[in-house]
Amino acid sequence: MFEIQLVEDAEAAGGSLITALPSVGMVSTIAGSFIAESLKMERIAYVLSEDVPPAALVQEGVPGYPLRVLGHKHLSMLTSEFQIPMTMASSLAKTVLSWAGSHGYDTIVGLEGLMSGQEPSEEPEKELRVLGVGSTQAARDRISKAGIEQFKVGMITGVSGALLSEGERTGVNVICLLVEANAMYPDARGAAKLVESVSRLLPEVQVDLKELYKEAQMIEKNVKATVERTKEMLAARQSQADRLGKSYMYG
């Protein structure tokens, strides 16, 4: 169902492979995008399938496959702007594990959001939890060494869940990092916390976290302001509709 095809003259150098696919609060996508831009990662492979939505991702006037692998030295990233349907998650996970194994990747790190009821906050010091789960004992030891709390009980679905269960079955080191995120908003602060944990887990991910948190705070303020304006507009429209309804009712 899926095939990963290297870009002409590109090389998959092995090392660590991050998966940054859309999740709760878009934290995975935001985190992946920041890492890719900071490290100036370039596309090294296409992920092909006739079952993915027909689309082209256009960047700086150049179209490309929306489901792709980016690379920088011994770090690569599988990323996409669209949600992978649950029915395709297992197939994609098996394809990724097979491709990663044949190209020298020893660790796969999935980025995910963990649903939270919190709204965007102007309190950047408020701590968000990042939890980790590993498919092997070596992966779990690595999570602990990085100072990340273990995810003890729960269900992880989608591509990350399939990677974990298949990794456990086959003995491949798969780690999933989950951050508390709000499903109603693009959670930039949650994404920043996720990047911070990735940088502790993978030394090759060296990014400017101060700049990231500053950017996250700005995004949160803009999102909160937009949400408040939308609520006011909806309330005003509802009030107008109620008045019109009464006028029609009573003539």
Query: What is the helix (H) or strand (E) element at residue 73, kind and residue range?
Result: none
**Higher-confidence residue: 26 or 147?**
147
* pLDDT value for 249: 45
Q: What is the structure's pLDDT at 72?
A: 95
Domains annotated on the chain, with CATH: 3-250 (3.40.50.10900)
Q: Give tens-digit pLDDT for 119-149.
A: 544 454 467 899 999 999 999 999 999 999 9
Question: Model confidence over 30-41: pLDDT tens digits?
Answer: 899 889 989 999
Q: What is the mean pLDDT of the chain?
A: 86
Share of the chain above pLDDT 90, in %: 58
Q: What is the mean pLDDT of residues 62-89?
A: 92
E strand map for the chain = 3-6, 15-20, 42-48, 57-59, 62-64, 68-72, 75-79, 105-116, 130-134, 149-150, 174-182
* Residue, of 55 and 48, whose pLDDT is higher: 48
